[in-house]
Amino acid sequence: MLPKTIEERGLVLMGCGKMGSALLQGWLSQGLNPDQVWIVDPKPSDWVQSLGVRLNEMLPDNPAAVLVAVKPQVMAEALPRMQTLAGGTTLFLTVAAGTPISTYEDALGKSTPIVRTMPNTPAAVGQGISALVGNGRVTERDMAVAEALMSAVGQTVRLDSEDQMDAVTGLSGSGPAYVFHMIETLAAAGVAQGLPGDMAMTLAKATVAGAGALAMQADEAPDQLRVNVTSPNGTTQAGLDVLMPEMGSLIDRTVGAATGRSKELRGG
C-alpha cells in the first residue's frame, strides 16, 4: 500500500519507458489516483496517454517523490529540470542503472534525499527484486516510501552501502539473463535426447518457473529442496553428479565477472 503522502502531495515520474510503465501500472493497481501522477516523457505511449495522468504539465511545487526512470545517457539533460524540487522534503528515487548517488547530488545538491535502486527485468511482470540504498539525507520514512514505491513491481532489499550495488548488478541485475540461458540449454538438451523443440522449450520454461516459485514459497532452504527431489542412485542423482562439481565454480565466476565489469564501468 502506498503512503498517504503520495496521494496527498503527488508523484512525479520522469521517464515512462518499460520500467516506468511497469511501476506506474503497479501504483495504479494499488489505488493511486491518476490525477496525482505527473509524467515527464517526450514520447509517451498510447497506454500512458489513455490513463488520465498529468502528462508533461507544470509540476507540483512539493511532490512527495520524484522517480527518475530515464536512460543514463540523457541524465545530464534531464536532472537540471528537477532542480526546483531539490533541497527540500521531496524524495528523489532513481532506477537508472550504473549512475551513482554522487551524480544526483552534483545535480540536485547534497541536501536532497536520494535513494538509488536497482530493479531487474522480471519487474515487468511484477516479479522483480530491487536493492535500495540512500544518501545521508534519507530518513527512515523516506526509505519506507521508496520501498513502498518499488514493491509495486516485486520485492525489495536494503543495502548497507552503495558499494554493494556492484554485487547486486552481478547477481540479480544480470541474473535473469543467466536463468534465460539455462532455459535455452535445458531445452536444447531435451532436444538432444529426442524431444520436439517446442515441447522441450515448454518443459524447460515451466520447470524453471515452477522450481523458482517453490523455492520462494517453501519453508525449506534450496539445498533441502534439492535433497527432497533427489532419490539415492536415481535419475536426479545421476544428473547432479555431472552438474554439481562444475556449477558452483561456474556461477561464482559468472557473477564475479559481471560484478567486476560493473566496477569498471563506474571507474571503481
> Is residue 130 located within the same domain as residue 33?
yes
Q: What is the mean pLDDT of each run of 10 residues along the chain (268 residues)?
A: 91 94 94 95 95 95 95 86 94 92 94 96 94 97 96 97 96 97 98 98 98 97 97 96 96 97 82
> Is residue 134 located within the same domain as residue 185?
no
Q: Tell me whether residue 138 is exposed, middle or buried, using C-beta atoms within 10 angstroms of its C-beta: 0 to 12, 13 to 18, 19 or more.
A: buried
- Hunting for cell 512527495 — which residue is that? 64
Say what the pLDDT of residue 245 is: 94
Total structural domains within the chain: 2
Q: Return the amino acid letter for 117.
A: T
> Is residue 160 located within the same domain as residue 178?
no
Q: What string of DSSP letters covers 12-57? A: EEE--SHHHHHHHHHHHHTT--GGGEEEE-SS--HHHHTTT-EES-
Final residue before a domain boundary, out of 165, 192, 213: 165
d(C-alpha 137, C-alpha 104), whole Å: 13
Final residue before a domain boundary, out of 140, 165, 190: 165
CA 103, 104, 107, 110 dihedral sign is: negative
Cell, residue 126: 511484477
Say what the pLDDT of residue 266 is: 78
In this structure, what CATH number is given to the domain that contains residue 259?
Answer: 1.10.3730.10
- Comparing C-alpha atoms, which of 61, 24, 28 is closest to residue 39? 24
> Is residue 79 located within the same domain as residue 159?
yes
Cell, residue 226: 534439492
In this structure, what CATH number is given to the domain that contains residue 136?
Answer: 3.40.50.720
Final residue before a domain boundary, out of 110, 130, 165: 165
> Is residue 37 located within the same domain as residue 147?
yes
Say what the pLDDT of residue 265 is: 82
Residue 200: CB atoms within 10 A of its CB come to 19
DSSP-assigned beta bridge partners for residue 92: 66, 114
Q: Tell me whether residue 64 is exposed, middle or buried, using C-beta atoms within 10 angstroms of its C-beta: 0 to 12, 13 to 18, 19 or more.
A: buried
> Is residue 103 located within the same domain as residue 119?
yes
Q: Which domain covers residue 209, as residue numbers?
A: 173-265
Say what the pLDDT of residue 150 is: 97
Q: Return the amino acid letter for 162.
A: E
> Is residue 234 located within the same domain as residue 111?
no
Q: CA dist 61 to 64, 83, 109, 223, 239, Å?
A: 10, 11, 17, 52, 61
Q: Tell me whether residue 240 is exposed, middle or buried, using C-beta atoms within 10 angstroms of its C-beta: 0 to 12, 13 to 18, 19 or more.
A: middle
* Cα diameter, the chain: 68
> Is residue 215 located within the same domain as residue 254?
yes
> Is residue 37 located within the same domain as residue 107?
yes
> Is residue 85 located within the same domain as residue 128?
yes
> Is residue 28 located within the same domain as residue 143?
yes
Say what the pLDDT of residue 221 is: 98
> Is residue 45 located within the same domain as residue 161?
yes
